Structure 1
Amino acid sequence: MAEVQAKQAHTRTESSTSSETAYSTSEIQTVKQAHTRTDSSTSSDMAYSTDTYAADEKKHSYSASTTSQTSVSSITKANRESYQSTSSDLEANAEFDDYSQKRFGFVRYTALNVYRRLFSLAFIGNAIAFVYLMVKGAAPLDLVNASAINLAVCGLCRHPLVVNSLFLTFGSVPRSAPMRLRRLACKIFHLGGVHSGTGVASCVWYIGFAGTYTYHFQPSPASIAVLVLIWFVLALLLAIIAVAHPAFRAKRHDYFELTHRFSNWAILALFWVLIFLLGTQDGSLSTFLINLPAFWILILLTLATIHPWLLLRRVPVKAEPLSPHAVRLHFSHATVRFGQGISVARHPLADWHSFASFTDQFDAPDTNFSCLVSKAGDWTRQAIAAPPTHLWKRGVPTYGFGYVFRMFERIIVVTTGSGIGPCLSFIEDAKRPEMRVVWQTKSPLKTYGQRTLDLVKRMDEEPVVIDTSVSGRVDMLPIVLRLYKEFGADAVCVISNPQMTRSLVYGLETRGIAAYGPIFDS
């Protein structure tokens, strides 16, 4: 024991006298998980192997703590600069979890999260109006107009130009604004709650229309055709809602996307036929259409649906294989700004995949921007095994989750695996916040390469990089809590798999910390 402690002390002394210590590519320093330690001080002292332990007592100007920081994990040098990361011992991090739990936090951040509140607001407001009109005795065309209005809001919530406008508006909140206002503005990525709430509400209005028309049905060749179309459209609306359920969407995403897209197109086409057939029963078709709000709404929806496809292009791709588990795709067809992403596909009518993008100006100036792709399904697996030379793109680059973090002074960026790709978009923003990075992944140097690690270091000179191939998965909440306090951060950005994102964001929000992570419908 004395020899182990002496070696540790000697290592700390050497690291304090040298700002940079060279490591070979095979040396990865990681921390063992706190739960593997015993209560005895002897076992605690022996938790680290002297062969893999390294400490860095470099003081940070932003640190509020006077104690030295021991290494949580570090990435090694690969024929280039030494790449080290520093933080605190997991066991010591426990003392920083002195936050009081918010009252009703479980309900507020699960059942009543912002997404569900927006959904409820959109749906319940429509439900009250629906019940009132049905009791009063609404005309069938009133129900059609109400359904069309909700469909318009639902569809426009997903149009790239509308999304960009909303993110630019909410993201323009200045850093001098009250923290409460900034925390609320940052929730704009929960806009999917409005999309789904109005989508379900439109179906309810349409069911009322179908029921009312059927109840007052009078047989004729035109009315029979109208009745068939009404119920066929309703079947498509119900199919869209069914496949959009999170459980189905997670397991059968390709079926969800194809059903969503082609059913939407079919509904638009059938709605046009339906309105014209209704107009022929009214006497004057032109007067009927001009005075029908659903007609003008249908024109708007048709244009909004066509617009992204007018920008459909097949663009060249330069693939940079990183490992059997990841590839970096470089593009030159456009330029992107901080926080933007693109949608790409191998075939324009097949499944589309959205990726956050980041600039190539620092390490690949021959192209404009990149997307980091790692194994997460059939499409990504194929992209890695057989890198594409061309891909289809549609629409315009769209702002996403990360853009709103510009309104904060200091943030903690927490990610796992290929989630580092979206985080890398921060490096090109001149007004980006100061940040600390916590990245947990398997064999980061081997999987993502030295160039990726160099880009990570542009965001944080001493990122906390946890190699799970050595340490196993560790609980990142204690690490984040300590960094949050020491760094004086305003918010925490989490980009990981859904389970990890929900767990970490929940743990932070219930402690009163502004934490954000993309959800399934962001």
Structure 2
Amino acid sequence: MYQSTMDEMDGPEVKIARFSSCRGVAFEINPNRTNPFAIGSPPKQEKIGTWLWLPWTRTSSTKVHANAPSPSRSRTSSHFCDIDVDAYDDDINVEFLVEGEDIEKQDKGNGIKVQKLLPKADLNGSSRLSIILLDQGFTVYKLLFLFCLAFNMVPIALSAVGLFNYGKKRATLFSIGNILALTICRSEAALRVVFWFAVKTIGSPCVPLIIKIATTAFLQSVGGIHSGCGVSSIAWLVYSLILTLNNKEETSTEIIGVAFTILSLISLSSLAAFPLVRHLHHNIFERTHRFAGWMALILLWLFLILTISYDPSIHIYNLTISKLVKSQECWFTFAITFLIIIPWLTIRKVRVTVSAPSSHASIIKFEGGVQAGLLGRISPSPLSEWHAFGIISDGKKEHMMLAGAVGDYTKSLVTTPPKHLYVRTMHFAGLPYLVNLYQRVLLVATGSGISVFLSFILQQPKNVDVCLIWVAKDIELNFGKEMKEMVSKYSKDKMIVHDTAIFGRPNVAEMSVEGAIRWNAEVVIVTSNPEGSRNVLRACNKANIPAFGPLWDS
């Protein structure tokens, strides 16, 4: 997979630099680029057969350069936010670059000297896992994870040395309490309420910007609490089992067996969520996390019934409703069960219209308008898999989702479009929803990442001034005329659209910084692949501009 560029249009030599992306990590061996940000500065390199479309151009144009190579057309994208899309047969999550060296050869057809730059080993140490985990530095997500872990490890240690007797007596309650906390942090219903409350309370112009930024950072990173409480619940359960085994006469074999099974299931679920497994084998992670969690919840109810009804003095089970009602563990478990069931009660099978503007993406249309900033989930089979997408809606009669052809399912939407899909009618809030907190926001999107922002362009909320930078390849060809028209209706003074088929790959980070300064944005929100998002965030932070992008577990 090579993309050719010419150093000098009249020169005899063409350099071919390799661009590669895998689940959104785009590697470029020769990263020298010009900055296309300045309005009215046409690119020096023009390509054949592609429309030059920028918001400030009054007419479209096509120009042919005598010696210019034909533009490479988009192939199947390996990530819905890729700028330039490359073909991969498998939905792999990590790419390892092998050692290579420059090779020069003579093109016999036209006598042009071609230099291929083969991939080098571990380009700047970059891999998907290193970018999403290590290169992000010490994030709020990691801070929340460590805080939750320390918040639990300290009382466990104090209990073990006899300085916290309540923890020693109620170790099981602490374990269930952590499970309740992690469930809340992943409950779409609970988070929808929290996000709504945050926007309503601190979305006012009179609230200091620093409070809004801190709130955004916290809400975006609640997954750190989820992970921290997951590990802590295992630690408390292990501690509880150790105490139980030291006093076997006060319990039964059945209770110990069920407790060990619960511990095994929770541990399995946590291991499946480990980044290496999650990103290399996402389907395994999703199904293991779901079904192991459900089984652990069922066994937790059995565990509570057994422990509450067991009388160690006579070794007999005697269950009464009053004992269950008085148990704190029972109420915690009831809350966990309620939060888990809520999304499944909103599942509906609905009629959809699926169109494919290209082989790289599909547009799924539903009835009913949706508020800007919300996301939705769809599934061909509710128990097996769910896929989340940004929602595009004018807030009136219909809404749609733009699904990049990444994995087997999203590719099937293009090849065999369904007439019905299962949906969760309760849409959930994420980082895009927090745009409503601010007064002036710059949205930066690459590829199909535009889908999470388009509702703000269509609905144009009065309380927030939205500006947009969109970088994509062959926009009309890949995303369709309808998508292009949606964007073109927005104010040209608040938007930059860069087609990489015309201008090549830009420095999106530099564009974002200059855009934020130009539009005096309070915050920058980016949706791109991991490397692209990281570069934008770093550039903005270096320029003291608040910026947010998708996390590794988004």
Q: TM-score, normalised by structure 2?
A: 0.72
Match of 1:239 in 2: 268
Q: Is 1:343 equivalent to 2:377 in the alignment?
A: yes
Q: 1:519 and 1:135, CA in 2 relative to 1: closer, same or farther beyond 3 A?
A: same
Q: 1:520 and 1:384, CA in 2 relative to 1: closer, same or farther beyond 3 A?
A: farther
Q: How does 1:408-487 map to 2 (within 5 A)?
A: 408-426=438-456, 427-431=458-462, 433-461=464-492, 463-487=495-519
Match of 1:372 in 2: 402
Q: Is 1:496 equivalent to 2:528 in the alignment?
A: yes
Match of 1:163 in 2: 191
Match of 1:359 in 2: 393
Match of 1:200 in 2: 231
Q: 2:216 aligns with which of 186, 210, 214?
A: 186
Distance 2:422 2:445 in 1: 28
Q: 1:289 and 1:46, CA in 2 relative to 1: closer, same or farther beyond 3 A?
A: closer
Q: 1:314 aligns with which of 349, 352, 358?
A: 349
Q: Is 1:128 equivalent to 2:157 in the alignment?
A: no
Distance 1:349 1:414 in 2: 34
Q: Is 1:35 equivalent to 2:32 in the alignment?
A: yes
Offset at residue 519 of structure 1 (A): 1.3
Q: 1:459 and 1:236, CA in 2 relative to 1: closer, same or farther beyond 3 A?
A: farther
Distance 2:552 2:482 in 1: 30
Offset at residue 429 of structure 1 (A): 4.6
* SS of residue in 1 equivalent to 2:231: helix
Q: Is 1:276 equivalent to 2:273 in the alignment?
A: no
The one-character-per-residue Cα deviations of 1:386-421 (angstroms, maximum 9, x if unpaired) are 112111113511122111112222222111111011
Q: How does 1:86-105 map to 2 (within 5 A)?
A: none
Q: 1:48 aligns with which of 30, 44, 48?
A: 44
Indicate conservation of the 8 Å contact 1:414/1:494, yes or no.
yes
Distance 2:31 2:43 in 1: 9
Q: Is 1:399 equivalent to 2:396 in the alignment?
A: no
The one-character-per-residue Cα deviations of 1:292-317 (angstroms, maximum 9, x if unpaired) are 21111111111222222122211111
Match of 1:505 in 2: 537
Q: 1:475 and 1:109, CA in 2 relative to 1: closer, same or farther beyond 3 A?
A: same
Which aligned segments of 4 or more residues in structure 1 are displaced greater than 4 angstroms? Answer: 49-52, 80-84, 137-141
Q: 1:457 and 1:83, CA in 2 relative to 1: closer, same or farther beyond 3 A?
A: farther
Gaps of 5+ in 1: 1-32, 38-44, 53-72, 85-106
Q: 1:509 and 1:139, CA in 2 relative to 1: closer, same or farther beyond 3 A?
A: closer
Distance 1:81 1:381 in 2: 36
Q: How does 1:244-259 map to 2 (within 5 A)?
A: 244-259=273-288
Query: How many residue pairs were aligned?
Result: 432
* SS of residue in 2 equivalent to 1:347: coil
One-letter code aligned to 2:177: I
Indicate conservation of the 8 Å contact 2:160/2:168, yes or no.
no
The range that moved more, 339-348 or 136-145, is 136-145
- Identity among equivalent positions (%) equals 25
Match of 2:241 in 1: 210
Indicate conservation of the 8 Å contact 1:109/1:509, yes or no.
no
The one-character-per-residue Cα deviations of 1:263-309 (angstroms, maximum 9, x if unpaired) are 11101110111111112323753354333211111111112222221
Q: 1:397 and 1:504, CA in 2 relative to 1: closer, same or farther beyond 3 A?
A: same
Match of 2:53 in 1: 75
One-letter code aligned to 2:492: E
The one-character-per-residue Cα deviations of 1:339-375 (angstroms, maximum 9, x if unpaired) are 11111100011110111112156xxx7x511111112
Distance 2:539 2:222 in 1: 22
Q: 1:35 and 1:74, CA in 2 relative to 1: closer, same or farther beyond 3 A?
A: same
The one-character-per-residue Cα deviations of 1:451-491 (angstroms, maximum 9, x if unpaired) are 21221234442532222234432221222222222221111
Q: 2:413 aligns with which of 356, 377, 383?
A: 383
Indicate conservation of the 8 Å contact 1:243/1:259, yes or no.
yes
- Which has the larger share of helix? 1
Match of 1:4 in 2: none
Match of 1:302 in 2: 337
Offset at residue 145 of structure 1 (A): 0.3
Match of 1:293 in 2: 328
Indicate conservation of the 8 Å contact 1:74/1:465, yes or no.
no
Offset at residue 381 of structure 1 (A): 1.2
One-letter code aligned to 1:48: K
Q: 1:390 and 1:482, CA in 2 relative to 1: closer, same or farther beyond 3 A?
A: same
Distance 1:50 1:420 in 2: 25
Distance 2:31 2:517 in 1: 20
Indicate conservation of the 8 Å contact 2:355/2:414, yes or no.
no
Match of 2:111 in 1: none
Indicate conservation of the 8 Å contact 2:510/2:539, yes or no.
no
Q: Is 1:152 equivalent to 2:203 in the alignment?
A: no
Q: 1:293 and 1:34, CA in 2 relative to 1: closer, same or farther beyond 3 A?
A: closer
Distance 2:527 2:45 in 1: 31
Q: 1:385 and 1:47, CA in 2 relative to 1: closer, same or farther beyond 3 A?
A: closer
Match of 2:143 in 1: 117
One-letter code aligned to 1:468: T
* SS of residue in 2 equivalent to 1:519: coil
* SS of residue in 1 equivalent to 2:378: strand
Distance 2:176 2:490 in 1: 46
* SS of residue in 2 equivalent to 1:348: coil
Offset at residue 510 of structure 1 (A): 3.3
Distance 1:34 1:240 in 2: 40
* SS of residue in 1 equivalent to 2:205: coil
Indicate conservation of the 8 Å contact 1:186/1:405, yes or no.
no
Indicate conservation of the 8 Å contact 1:329/1:372, yes or no.
yes
The one-character-per-residue Cα deviations of 1:189-243 (angstroms, maximum 9, x if unpaired) are 2111111111211111111112221222249xx7111111111111111111111
* SS of residue in 1 equivalent to 2:468: strand
Q: 1:186 and 1:457, CA in 2 relative to 1: closer, same or farther beyond 3 A?
A: farther
